[in-house]
Amino acid sequence: MRKYVIMGVQGSGKGTHAGLLEADLNLVHIGVGDILRWNVQHHTKVGAQVRRIMAAGSLVDDDLIEGIVQDRLAQHDWNFGFIIDGFPRNPRQAEFFLESYDIDGVIHLDLPDSEVRRRVMARRLCSVCGVDYSLIDNSPKVDGKCDACGGELLIREDDTEEALNVRLREYHAKTNPVLDIFRRKEYVITVDSRPPKPQVQQAIRAKLGLPAYAPERQAAAS
Ligand code: AMP
């Protein structure tokens, strides 16, 4: 059983690298932002509560987020473990998390703010199935259409200059202290997220002592 947290600024590749670990190691990838976006898209009560906060780039209320994480983990569909992305995002959430779960490691993807801007502005999201694209290195085959389901690709509502500025400020002010909490427990491995994806994935695995990254194995399995 492996239990990891993946942290990093917006656009640092948390979803991508968590997805690669999920596919290869049978981990369940829990993306808190994905769960919130699903709720917004499906017009649920939670969706109505969080939509405007998310669009502005601010953080959603802690009680609500902790409830979502608790419910998701209580499904216990993670026999081989989980990798949680987008949580915890402030010291209170970190304390809550550490009280309830043991974790094996925190993957910290490090990316300078200038590179964050370039990546976030190139990001596109399928409006139907939620798959992520990047116009820098992972463009769809047909412009504006999802390769997987043909859905329309959109810019995330919070991928604007203004919202990004808020999110970067929030990250540096609130999420950096979370890393300090985890560092005190010696959980954190830091990986430079600027190199190409396979190199970053390999560096994560080497630091965590996991099996090497073999893209051909993943392609065969999918
Ligand atoms: P993400 O997809 O991780 O970038 O999250 C998108 C947005 O969802 C964030 O900008 C917040 O508004 C909200 N959100 C996601 N995770 C959390 C969290 N742990 N605490 C508070 N708000 C969150």
- Per-residue pLDDT reduced to its tens digit, 150-166: 999 999 888 888 988 98
CA distances from 169 to 58, 65, 166, 179 (A): 9, 20, 5, 15
Place of tokens 């939509």: 51
Identify the residue whose C-alpha is closest to ligand 1 atom 12: 54
Question: In angstroms, what is the span from residue 60 Cα to ligand 1's centroid?
Answer: 7
Q: What is the DSSP string of 26-74?
A: TPEEEEHHHHHHHHHHTT-HHHHHHHHHHHHTPPPPHHHHHHHHHHHHH
Q: Cα 204–109–145 angle (5° rounding)?
A: 95
Q: Cα 210–8–55 angle (5° rounding)?
A: 135
For ligand 1, mutation pick of 7, 41, 46, 60 (most atoms within 8 Å of CB): 60
Q: What rounded mean pLDDT belongs to the chain? A: 91
Report the run of H or E that residue 105 belongs to, with start and end: strand 105-110
Contacts of 163 (CB under 8 A, 6+ apart): 55, 56, 57, 157
- Per-residue pLDDT reduced to its tens digit, 43-65: 999 999 999 999 888 899 999 99
Question: In angstroms, what is the span from residue 86 Cα to ligand 1's centroid?
Answer: 6
Confidence band (pLDDT; 50, 70, 90) for 206? very high
Question: In angstroms, what is the span from residue 214 Cα to ligand 1's centroid?
Answer: 31
Looking at the predicted structure, is the pLDDT value of residue 24 above 60?
A: yes
Cβ 87 vs Cβ 65: under 8 Å:
yes
Question: In angstroms, what is the span from residue 194 Cα to ligand 1's centroid?
Answer: 22
Residue 32 CB–ligand 1 contact under 6 Å: yes
Q: Model's pTM, two decimal places?
A: 0.85
- Per-residue pLDDT reduced to its tens digit, 83-141: 999 999 999 999 999 998 889 999 999 999 989 999 889 999 999 998 889 998 889 99
Region 168-184: what's the mean pLDDT? 92
Residue 36 CB–ligand 1 contact under 6 Å: yes
